[in-house]
Structure 1
Amino acid sequence: MRNAISLAALSLGLLPLSGAAAPPLLAARADVSVTIPSGDTIIGSAADGVESFKGIPYADPPTGDLRLRPPQKLSTPLGTFNATGQAKLCPQGPIISFPTQQSPPEAAVVKETLAESFPLPTAEDSQSEDCLTITITRPEGTQPGDALPVLFYIFGGGFLIGGTSAALNDPLQLVQTGVAFGKPFIFAAVNYRVGGWGFMPGEEILNEGSANAGLLDQRMGLEWVADNIEAFGGNSSEVTIWGQSAGSISVWDQLVLYNGDATYNDKPLFRAAIMNSGSVTPVDPVDSEKGKAVYQHVVEKAGCDGNDDTLGCLRNLTNDEFAAAANSVPGLISYESLALSYLPRPDGKVLTASPHVLAREGKFHAVPMIFGSQEDEGTIFSWAQVFKQSMGSTDNITDYLSSLYFHNAERSLVKELVETYSELVEDGSPYRRGEYVPWIAYPGKKRLASILGDIVFTLVRRLTLENVVANRPDLPVWSSLASYNWPYGIFGTQHGSDTVVFFSRNNTYFPTLTGRSYYINFVHDLDPNVGLAAGIEWPKWTENNDLLWYNEALNLYLKDDFRSESYEFIKEHIDSLTF
């Protein structure tokens, strides 16, 4: 059934999708079970029109000698596995670290905003190194042979936090919407190792062949779906991968893994990709000077310095001991901000080069793609810097970026990049807010927010699109910019605001309704415009470099040519602007 349901009917609440946030699951009406090809039986639960199978293991526990190694496929039978409880989070990395002993007054506001934008762990969340699991959510009553398309989700969180059990990623309303539209699909979410557990850099890691374990977790999750999703009523030939933030960067990395080889058992693992706030990340190798410094820091904090086998020493630690050492690096929200210690880096095998180079060389799995950005990607990441160093001058911002981000660039080059951004308060991010800023006392903050948002998210998105189109002009690609928070909130339409829109809001909210419509169309038909009416037609980026411009009550078109001077500079010097 693929009938188009009018936006008006949904927006007026005429379908049972109301409520300010995803409603909690009711008491399960009944257990449901699925027998997978291995002969194991997975027990799930049914409630609110969906069936959930949570925390299904796809790999051996990465503990002991398997810590810091690539995942190993599950080697023991599950038998009858109870998948009705919450999936455990993988151990979480550092989140917020302030440059002073006392948190500044603004910290409470930032933490509240973070909770709306990032899958922050709570005291109730259970964490374990034995966390390599898949969670499946499907429409109630789905049977083997239904061959529903699959949306495979990779959570975000700066490669430091997150998990499939995080409330911010609850797919209940999204799956319900697919049913209401007559376009049902299966939602599969992968747990992967984050922080030092999943993305430890260093020469020792490289030499052992253990780099990018978190990316390999994701790839093994995709292989599990290929092997098992048909037993759940899915179609292994119709998988779309979707990620947000670090998950979005991971989606691009999955596109370029093994130089773009996404085959498994002679079939492609996925046929389409959606990236929300993340694409290429220009990064240095696993054994770069920074990578080696991070590894040495962890080794010293762990008391393994001087050991003949430092990796063996790290593996012999308890998880608490390892966590204390691995998490002694700066947090996601800190002075160091997006100059992360842990993230995917080229290792010559899994990632053969920096993702921006692989994009330029056309070494990617060529499938239909959607790229999205938030208007104010950098605001959350720019506020902590001012408590350690003023950012009120070009020289200070240059020093900050030179010391933490662009180790391969001459200082004069970094200064030229900074000078492409206006010093005027009204020109910075949050954009289109005039001179009003909640942090006016911190000169340079809006300028820095613009730079950070562009070099990690917004303008590198445009560069990724250009490289995709240059190599595959026939490939259908779409892109968007979201401004649904304008002119509200001190952070504007900040990084991570899309998770609330797509997951937590109900369909009376215009951006949620239209966004879900476009994405569900894409999952089913590889085109966001085919099927459900979602307001204006979303033009292909290849046609005129137009973006779909999400707004609170009306979607528009926007030319993807803003901040062109900064873009051209980044494009020309991208090989020197790795971090």
Structure 2
Amino acid sequence: MLTKRAILASLAVRALSALASPVDRLVVQDPFSYQVSDHTCASPESTEQLVSTPEVYLDDALFTGIRKGVTDQFLGIPFAHPPTNERRLRQPEPLPPYQGLYYVQEFGKSCPQQRLNLPNGLDSQLVKDIGGAVNVLYEKLTPAGEDCLTINVVKPSSATPGSKLPVIFVLDFGGGFEIGGTSTYDGGSFVARSIDIGQPVIYVSVNYRLSAFGFLPGKEVKAEKVGNLGLQDQRLGLKWVQTYISEFGGDPSKVTIWGESAGAISVAHHMLTNNGNNEGLFRGAIMQSGGPIPVGDIENGQQYYDFMVEKTGCSKAPNTLDCLRKVPYSTYKRAMDDSPNFFAYQGLVLAWLPRVDGVFLKEPTQYSVLRGNVANVPMITGNCDDEGSLFSISTMNITTTAELKDYMKLYMMPKAKDSQVDLLLKYYPDDQRAGCPFDTGLKNALSPQFKRTAALQGDFVFHGPRRYLLQHRADKQKSWGFIHKRGKDLPFVGAAHITDVPNSFGVGPVLSELRDYFIRFTNNLDPNGKKGLGIPWPQWDPKKPKAAIFQDSTLFPIIIGDDNYRTDALNYVANMSLLYPI
């Protein structure tokens, strides 16, 4: 085992060797690399780099990051054994204590991404543009592979092991549990902004397994207790923070978990697992376009397990799950790519998502909320106004109420009675002016039932779970709500899903008040902070619900308004979710 003294001695010998070289620029030609826990760590090019780059000790290892502006970034730190070969489709395994030298200056690979194939029969140029853009983003710009369980830490350069700064733990790359990676978001600008406003934080992001690698359903998966592996990866990342974040200047008792879309759904499930006992892993939660979605037993997704078994040639294997572990990566990936994605006809009834596995989730999420099995921590939860529009483009061929009813019966409420579906549709009338994108009149009607379908999908998966959580928990734990209505002029989709992300990350020439609210919440467990900066944001009150509304207005970009839209409809959606979880 290498001690810190041994590590320093090794570096000193290499530096002295370089000094003896007859060259103008000190260059260390290092014939060695260090194999640590299946990760090869290349040596730096020069002692100049060693001097100018930040370093941190973890166990008996020296980690060298990179300095960018006022931040030090340590990227691609492995936190678990690579889930490859026999470790595929198994619980994540923590690494032994670190040893040796690590150069962590670039993001690690993202976990395998599912290709977003377009639904058959849709030749819309809009659909092609959206699908093509997403595939380019995640296939071309986000390199992926099975060896992907890495964590990133971005800290103020001035932070030391004694700084005890609050930590924001980010699950925020969305993607419907099918695509995404930590490299798509800039933690550096977030930390720099926190320094600017005098509320410094440490930003941690984690990669986790996706799609058929991380959320394989089925009775075989349930029997081996290997469901919800993506959530288990996240939980192990949270435990890594408890062990190591103090070395970066963070306070392990001041962790806030934050996610958008699939990340927000993940945050909600961390609040529900373990009967609501958060094990001291976090003290606050931020959910941006996601919450405790209405999911049922993991066997409800048996058809997707069977699909993978058939597509990989494992049908005749005596143990199909073992067979899936052994097939070549390319075979498994190709089968996953052929499965339904969130642009498929079934929309937000996702093939790959968290389900009740008996380990991480022991009961349907709505039941956990109803029973009070929720981590009692302050929380922020909000949605974009038109959450369902983007995911309803694939259903433009639905043109009548009868066809919409058939769709709801086939996908969203397969066990519901006809009378229950009929009543649901009365809450969502066949009137373009009442549909999503909301408050746009007769505009954006891509098809006769598009706006109606979009309203239903958005309410079942996003608005309904958010309102349900607030109604049952806001009187028991400090809660704040928001609605993001900016972008209403976007053709066809309006203030769609993810249109609030630039606001929370400060991307481009946009207002980014959400980012400041989230930074203050991470520091103070109150988005207003101790000084009450910005528009005062009231706590959510079940009797008089108010939310911060972010809107397209130069004079009043933020207002505080009533959070009681579609009350009867969302209450009915909640009841149906209790009776018929996905």
Tell me the TM-score normalised to structure 1 length: 0.88
Deviation of residue 108 (structure 1)?
4.1
Whether 2:127 is the aligned partner of 1:110: answer no
Deviation of residue 78 (structure 1)?
4.6
What residue number does 2:292 align with? 280
Identical columns (%): 33
What residue number does 1:549 align with? 549
Distance 2:117 2:506 in 1: 24
What residue number does 1:341 align with? 351
Map residues 340-489 of structure 1 onto 2, 5 A cutoff: 340-386=350-396, 390-437=397-444, 439-440=445-446, 442-469=447-474, 473-489=475-491
SS of alignment partner, residue 240 of structure 1: strand
Contact residue 94 and residue 332 of structure 1 kept, 8 A: no
Distance 2:115 2:255 in 1: 32
Distance 2:129 2:309 in 1: 35
Distance 1:312 1:349 in 2: 20
Contact residue 85 and residue 326 of structure 2 kept, 8 A: yes
Contact residue 60 and residue 75 of structure 1 kept, 8 A: no
Structure whose CA Rg is larger: 2
What residue number does 1:570 align with? 573
Distance 1:40 1:46 in 2: 19
- Amino acid paired to 1:485: G
Any unmatched runs of 5+ in structure 1?
1-26
CA spacing shift, 1:532–1:157, aligned 2, 3 Å? farther
What residue number does 1:509 align with? 510
Any unmatched runs of 5+ in structure 2?
1-47
Q: Deviations over 1:483-537 (max 9, x none)?
A: 111234431111011222222425x633x1x212211111100111123554321
Distance 1:486 1:107 in 2: 19
Deviation of residue 326 (structure 1)?
2.3
Deviation of residue 451 (structure 1)?
0.6
Backbone CA RMSD of aligned residues: 2.0
What residue number does 1:152 align with? 169
Query: Paired residue for 2:256, among 223, 240, 243?
Result: 240
- Amino acid paired to 1:31: T
- Amino acid paired to 1:562: Y
- Amino acid paired to 2:158: G
Deviation of residue 349 (structure 1)?
2.1
Whether 2:47 is the aligned partner of 1:30: answer no
What residue number does 1:3 align with? none
SS of alignment partner, residue 237 of structure 1: strand
Deviation of residue 33 (structure 1)?
0.8
Q: Deviations over 1:60-105 (max 9, x none)?
A: 01111111111011137352111112221100123242213x7432
Query: Paired residue for 1:171, among 179, 187, 208?
Result: 187
Deviation of residue 192 (structure 1)?
0.3
Whether 2:64 is the aligned partner of 1:39: answer no
Deviation of residue 284 (structure 1)?
1.8
Whether 2:195 is the aligned partner of 1:192: answer no
Whether 2:188 is the aligned partner of 1:135: answer no
Deviation of residue 353 (structure 1)?
0.7
Distance 2:323 2:515 in 1: 47
What residue number does 2:43 align with? none
What residue number does 1:161 align with? 179
Q: Deviations over 1:406-457 (max 9, x none)?
A: 22222331232122112111211111111122x44x1110111111000000
SS of alignment partner, residue 151 of structure 1: strand
Q: How many pairs are equivalent?
A: 529
Distance 1:205 1:75 in 2: 27
Q: Deviations over 1:530-550 (max 9, x none)?
A: 235543211110262111111
Distance 2:72 2:136 in 1: 22
Deviation of residue 107 (structure 1)?
2.3
What residue number does 2:120 align with? 99
Distance 2:359 2:227 in 1: 9
Query: Paired residue for 2:103, among 82, 91, 100?
Result: 82
Map residues 279-298 of structure 1 onto 2, 5 A cutoff: 279-288=291-300, 291-298=301-308
CA spacing shift, 1:119–1:287, aligned 2, 3 Å? farther
Distance 2:376 2:352 in 1: 27
Deviation of residue 250 (structure 1)?
0.3
Contact residue 149 and residue 208 of structure 2 kept, 8 A: yes
Distance 2:533 2:449 in 1: 39
SS of alignment partner, residue 383 of structure 1: helix
Contact residue 506 and residue 515 of structure 2 kept, 8 A: no
What residue number does 2:29 align with? none
CA spacing shift, 1:74–1:347, aligned 2, 3 Å? same
